[in-house]
């Protein structure tokens, strides 16, 4: 009986070690995130700087890069890739666009609409409004609200959608509204609206981290004669020895009215192992299965 118990404990220990190792490997892989333009539908006549939509999108890109868990494309590089694939930003969220083309570009698309971007003085109340160019004295409440969507680029499925709203209070504006701008980091960080904006960005990064924590990384298999490759490499954190499951799409189940993809059905083709990892590409060899094709999905096993 003691021998059986010891064997069982040893088995549990080994299984736990392998499970932790697998989760550590998967966590190390960087997901490719595309940040779309933030559409601005807020009212902010008091604001004189660059578009809040552009400013907040740039802030999110910077925050995602600093988080170290994502591969985020610079705008110039993204435009070049999109032009090469003949895709627009709206195509990335379109179920009818080529899944293979979309997966070559990224994993998750961030789309947002700014609904509130402003502040009010507590003693006057009312809606968010201009208080003039001179800073007043009193308690000010900055509020920024954004409707967010995280979209699976491959399937166009909405992974998460919600409003992110944050507030910041201060006894004084600290500076005039004409000085407040996304282009001036110090003035931005000192303003109640700037502080509320940073809270929104931090919340979005946190939500993205939650999404990828429970999500298997996926890529595309590419065949060339007798060689097999994955469309990603050292920049994503892929390593030699990683094992990937290869699946092929057999059917898409679509909503009869909206055309949105409800479910994608795959069949397992086999498994491959990474033998060489370079910038942008990983060479793999077959471990199980055969008949691999360019465009097959791969996910960390």
CA 102 to chain centre: 14
Whether residue 4 is predicted with pLDDT greater than 70 in this model: the reply is no
What is the percent of the chain with per-residue pLDDT over 70, rounded to a whole number?
A: 82
pLDDT of 13 reads 42
pTM for this entry: 0.74
> What's the pLDDT band for 178 if we cut at 50, 70, 90?
low
Helix (H) or strand (E) holding 4: helix 2-28
What is the per-residue pLDDT across 49-93, written as a single tens digit (0 to 9) for each?
A: 778 999 999 999 999 999 988 999 877 778 888 888 888 888 888
pLDDT of 290 reads 94
> Which of 162, 176, 161, 147 is CA-nearest to residue 48?
176
> Which of 179, 193, 197, 199 is CA-nearest to residue 120?
193
What gap in Å lies between CA 17 and CA 14, rounded to an integer? 5
For the chain, list the domains and their CATH numbers: 30-213 (3.40.50.10610), 218-300 (2.40.10.410)
pLDDT of 162 reads 95
pLDDT of 252 reads 80
What is the per-residue pLDDT across 238-271, written as a single tens digit (0 to 9) for each?
A: 999 999 999 998 888 888 887 766 777 889 999 9
């Amino acid at each position: 009986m003691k021998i059986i118990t010891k064997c069982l404990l040893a088995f549990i220990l080994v299984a736990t070690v392998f499970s932790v190792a697998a989760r550590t490997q998967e966590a190390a892989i960087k997901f490719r995130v595309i940040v779309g333009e933030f559409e601005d539908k807020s009212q902010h006549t008091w604001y004189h700087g660059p578009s809040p939509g552009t400013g907040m999108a740039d802030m999110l890109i910077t925050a995602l890069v600093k988080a170290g868990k994502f591969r985020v494309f610079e705008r110039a590089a993204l435009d070049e890739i999109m032009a090469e694939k003949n895709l627009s930003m709206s195509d990335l969220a379109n179920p009818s666009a080529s899944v293979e083309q979309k997966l070559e570009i990224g994993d998750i698309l961030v789309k947002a609409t700014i609904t509130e971007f402003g502040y009010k003085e507590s003693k006057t109340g009312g809606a968010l409004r201009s208080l003039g160019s001179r800073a007043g004295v009193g308690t000010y409440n900055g509020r920024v609200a954004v409707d967010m969507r995280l979209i699976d680029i491959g399937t166009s499925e909405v992974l998460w959608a919600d409003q992110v709203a944050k507030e910041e209070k201060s006894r004084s504006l600290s500076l005039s509204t004409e000085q407040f701008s996304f282009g001036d980091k110090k003035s931005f960080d000192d303003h109640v609206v700037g502080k509320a904006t940073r809270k929104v960005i931090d919340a979005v990064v946190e939500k993205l981290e939650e999404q990828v924590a429970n999500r298997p990384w996926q890529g595309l298999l590419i065949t060339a004669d007798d060689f097999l490759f994955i469309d990603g490499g050292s920049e994503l954190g892929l390593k030699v020895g990683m094992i990937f499951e290869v699946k092929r799409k057999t059917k898409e189940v679509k909503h009869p009215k909206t055309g949105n993809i409800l479910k994608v059905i795959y069949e397992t083709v086999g498994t491959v192992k990474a033998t060489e990892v370079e910038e942008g590409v990983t060479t793999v060899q077959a471990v199980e299965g055969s008949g691999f094709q360019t465009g097959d999905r791969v996910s960390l096993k």
